[in-house]
């Protein structure tokens, strides 16, 4: 359990990226198995577990990189966190813009997945460096969840958790303008908008605290696993009770959603610790470990290739993406299975690049 890279964290990180690419790249959005779709609004599907899992793993990773927090120079650490968060945010904006000649700046979406990761990492990093102690971070995480709830409730009118009325939507429009906000919901609303960063920060902090307890405490590992199992049960119960008044909602990134997804992902982490860290059953996880060593690079590469296949590379009178689905995969499988097979093959295509880095022991720092 004391090796430099903890295998269970790499595997969880890799599973997250694997699923993230799968759910982002069906052959056709008209033919997708239900678990690989987001909940229409309230609720949580398998797909809705993927992104919060990534934020949780960001916190786990920080628990390792900040292992000797008390001995680190706070000023240098803050500078490092700021630069890295700024770089990830910038890459996210550039991905939204790519291929640059097709999207005018006047319609460039500002927020996105990498931007949410960057802001949540930045906020959590600042709090971890400044507060340091566990109790202070627990209080901060709880207050952020409650603050987000309060802002949604008190400033959202008569239907504060709706698509049309939620204050997060109006805040993003006010800050960046309608043309720079995601329009996939039929109206300007960004599921990775600014307000949800509050609860995103909380999720990273919870991941950090769980990582610190599991991998750094001196207590017997079985005792630590049991304690986190109790925590998972507690978070799950609280989330379901909170859901009565604050719906579990990925698009709003509600506090109940944070606790619900954290409970499930933490339980998965405990299973991985038992399998790969304690019992050394690692062969089955080889694919995920490869992704887990270069997660952000793999995600970024997948988004670049998706846009190349959809918008740049033409094939006959259509694009390469559509041609592969309709003329290759759909000729072999039924529509939904063809759509899934396309996503799986595309994911393994990206995996090949990650594998080349893995073979050369190269870790791309983003």
pLDDT(65) > 90: no
Rounded alpha-carbon distances, angstroms, from residue 293 to 9, 113, 117, 120, 265: 10, 19, 17, 21, 19
pLDDT(112) > 50: yes
Model confidence band, residue 73 (pLDDT cutoffs 50, 70, 90): confident
Q: What is the pTM of this model?
A: 0.95
Q: For residue 43, what is the DSSP state?
A: B
Give the per-residue pLDDT at 128.
Answer: 96
pLDDT(67) > 90: no
Residue, of 43 and 316, whose pLDDT is higher: 43
Helix (H, G, I), strand (E, B) or coil at 40: coil
Give the per-residue pLDDT at 4.
Answer: 61
As a whole number, mean pLDDT of residues 175-197 equals 97
pLDDT(263) > 60: yes
pLDDT(71) > 80: no
pLDDT(2) > 50: no
pLDDT(182) > 70: yes
CA 244 from chain centre, in angstroms, equals 25
- Cβ 41 vs Cβ 357: under 8 Å: no
pLDDT(3) > 60: no
**pLDDT tens-digit readout, 230-255:** 999 999 999 999 999 999 999 999 99
User: What mean pLDDT is reported for the chain?
Assistant: 95
pLDDT(11) > 80: yes
Helix (H) or strand (E) holding 17: helix 7-24
As a whole number, mean pLDDT of residues 95-105 equals 93
As a whole number, mean pLDDT of residues 119-135 equals 96
Cα angle vertex 37, ends 31, 42, to 5°?
Answer: 140
Helix (H) or strand (E) holding 35: none
Give the per-residue pLDDT at 1.
Answer: 41
- Cα–Cα distance between 210 and 170 in angstroms, integer? 34
Residue, of 218 and 147, whose pLDDT is higher: 147
pLDDT(151) > 50: yes
As a whole number, mean pLDDT of residues 262-272 equals 98
Provide the terminal-to-terminal Cα distance of the chain, rounded to the nearest Å: 26
pLDDT(76) > 80: yes
As a whole number, mean pLDDT of residues 114-119 equals 98
Give the per-residue pLDDT at 219.
Answer: 75
Give residue for tokens 């529509």: 335
């Amino acid at each position: 359990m004391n090796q430099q890279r903890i295998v269970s964290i790499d595997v969880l990180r890799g599973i997250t990226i694997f699923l993230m690419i799968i759910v982002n790249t069906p052959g056709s959005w008209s033919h997708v198995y239900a678990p690989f779709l987001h909940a229409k609004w309230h609720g949580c599907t398998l797909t809705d577990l993927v992104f919060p899992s990534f934020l949780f793993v960001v916190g786990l990773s920080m628990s390792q990189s900040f292992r000797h927090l008390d001995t680190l120079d706070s000023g240098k650490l803050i500078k490092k966190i700021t630069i890295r968060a700024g770089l990830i945010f910038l890459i996210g904006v550039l991905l939204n813009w790519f291929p640059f000649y097709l999207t005018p700046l006047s319609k460039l979406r500002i927020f996105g997945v990498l931007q949410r990761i960057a802001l949540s990492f930045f906020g959590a990093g600042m709090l971890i460096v400044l507060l340091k102690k566990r109790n202070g971070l627990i209080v901060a995480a709880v207050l952020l969840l409650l603050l987000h709830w309060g802002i949604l409730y008190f400033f959202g009118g008569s239907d504060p958790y709706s698509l049309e009325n939620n204050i997060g939507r109006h805040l993003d429009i006010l800050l960046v303008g309608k043309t720079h906000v995601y329009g996939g919901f039929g109206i300007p609303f960004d599921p990775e908008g600014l307000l949800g960063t509050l609860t995103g920060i909380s999720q990273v902090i919870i991941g950090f605290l769980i990582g610190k307890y599991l991998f750094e405490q001196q207590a017997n590992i079985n005792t630590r696993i049991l304690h986190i199992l109790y925590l998972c049960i507690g978070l799950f119960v609280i989330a379901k009770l909170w859901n009565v008044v604050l719906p579990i909602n990925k698009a709003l990134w509600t506090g109940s959603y944070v606790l619900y997804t954290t409970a499930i992902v933490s339980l998965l982490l405990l299973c991985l610790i038992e399998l790969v860290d304690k019992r050394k059953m690692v062969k089955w996880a080889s694919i995920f470990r490869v992704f887990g060593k270069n997660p952000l690079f793999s995600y970024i590469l997948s988004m670049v290739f998706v846009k190349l296949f959809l918008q740049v590379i033409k094939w006959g009178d259509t694009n390469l993406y559509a041609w592969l689905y309709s003329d290759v995969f759909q000729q072999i499988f039924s529509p939904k299975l063809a759509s899934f097979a396309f996503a799986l093959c595309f994911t393994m295509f990206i995996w090949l690049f990650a594998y080349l880095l893995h073979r050369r022991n190269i870790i791309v720092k983003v």
